[in-house]
Structure 1
């Protein structure tokens, strides 16, 4: 099946992300992880990144987070090209959330958010003035968890932890927020709380761009505007969600019949009967 794309022309000034003919190869095994990826993310766009395990989603997110370089092609993030910019400075301007982040369990939720200002695991108290501390409280409120400010991170639920980590990532005022399976292992109420929080975040920050890696369409908030489907390291489809999150495209992506439905901005998918 031919690749589907609805993107326009070459990258223009002001793109949040611009990937051109990007490939990643594992030198030890000569395995191609990503192959010929072209992709643009613009301010205010909210992308869902989907594909089967091993499709290249994590590698693609690592490129956007300046955690690795491509083997070939160009990766530009927030106006800086990997290989020509100090990646430490670039990472400080990105928000990156993953459940694998190391967080001391005894820190309060407010302190965890504060560490986003210094970009450290442990708090650097001398760097947090009253304005910074107040901002951390405001971000907890924005994510709907202001009552957790003094609660130890280790006793927060999975959904609460996810929202604390997002608040932490927002301390840097990023233009791009990367979310690597933020819904992992959440129960239904926690998932819905996080979906609502992401929707409010998108509405309140019209210039913020997000990229969310997920395995389940049910985890997408109504704010998600675009989707990219990866299959075996290549882009299968990309563009507005209504054109990409369809039964035929997801069937091609996952290799089995998939039916897709949408109601009031929310999606769900299931494996349709074969034959």
Structure 2
């Protein structure tokens, strides 16, 4: 089983704050991970390390066979797809959605003088079809709903056929219908042969797609628990992560959590 990335005792320290604290984490090619934790847990910082945008203060990080600090991170980043709000903020509102996806081939936001061949165009249209956004091709990015934007950004992240796909809170700000559309797309993606290794950050167990296999629970920059989702995602571990007693339900591959009622024992 090939290793997609491996973090060994990784810490990230900034003046007055330890953002990550001694995190060790190994992800293999056939796994689909969700990272759960409250605000300030270090989730986005962790994704920046895995995405080769941030070097650890201490510890080591091997990403797609390359060690951070001993490789050209600009080349490494071309092998990693990253969907996050910071990417959306750089896209011109008047950009056509098809061009939002297509321009990832040149790692730019906003078409200018670069050229694309027919294979690039077909690749963009294929990905958009798989994510159910073909009908948005001629819409401008600034007119999209939040859910449509999120799926467009995922399509863009897939454009370069990445080996690793990082999704930073893709469900944030979505209404119920948009969230369910997104989760359906991620479920299909996670089960597609040849799909990249998937790592998704979230605050909510309700946003975990059915096809995901593993979970990492993070609190105050440190690991609470990690491993196969069926073993690790328990009411006890989740309660420790979020600092409260919780009840956890699991029905038809989907999870739901709520605060445990007074006098009742939290259930798995």
Q: RMSD of aligned C-alpha atoms? A: 1.3
Quote the residue 1:83 is aligned against.
69
Conserved 8 A contact 1:23-1:35: yes
Find the aligned partners of 1:216 and 1:206 in 2 and give their Cα distance.
27
Quote the residue 2:144 is aligned against.
156
Quote the residue 1:168 is aligned against.
156
Conserved 8 A contact 2:189-2:195: no
SS of alignment partner, residue 35 of structure 1: strand
- Which of 30, 37, 44 does residue 51 from structure 1 map onto? 37
Quote the residue 1:121 is aligned against.
109
Conserved 8 A contact 1:49-1:213: yes
Number of equivalent positions:
261
Find the aligned partners of 2:193 and 2:63 in 1 and give their Cα distance.
19
Conserved 8 A contact 1:257-1:274: no
Deviation for aligned residue 1:54: 1.1
Quote the residue 2:24 is aligned against.
38
SS of alignment partner, residue 173 of structure 1: coil
Q: How does 1:178-217 map to 2 (within 5 A)?
A: 178-217=166-205
Find the aligned partners of 2:239 and 2:48 in 1 and give their Cα distance.
26
Quote the residue 1:73 is aligned against.
59
Quote the residue 1:238 is aligned against.
226
SS of alignment partner, residue 16 of structure 1: strand
Provide TM-score, normalisation by structure 2: 0.94
Deviations 1:74-133 (A, max 9, x none): 101111110011111111110000123221111111000011111111224533111101
Q: Which runs of 5+ in 2 are unaligned?
A: 264-268
Find the aligned partners of 2:7 and 2:262 in 1 and give their Cα distance.
37
State the 4+ residue runs in structure 1 displaced beyond 4 angstroms: none
Find the aligned partners of 2:255 and 2:85 in 1 and give their Cα distance.
23
Find the aligned partners of 1:124 and 1:210 in 2 and give their Cα distance.
31
Q: Which runs of 5+ in 1 are unaligned?
A: 1-11
Provide TM-score, normalisation by structure 1: 0.92
Quote the residue 1:7 is aligned against.
none
Deviation for aligned residue 1:247: 0.4
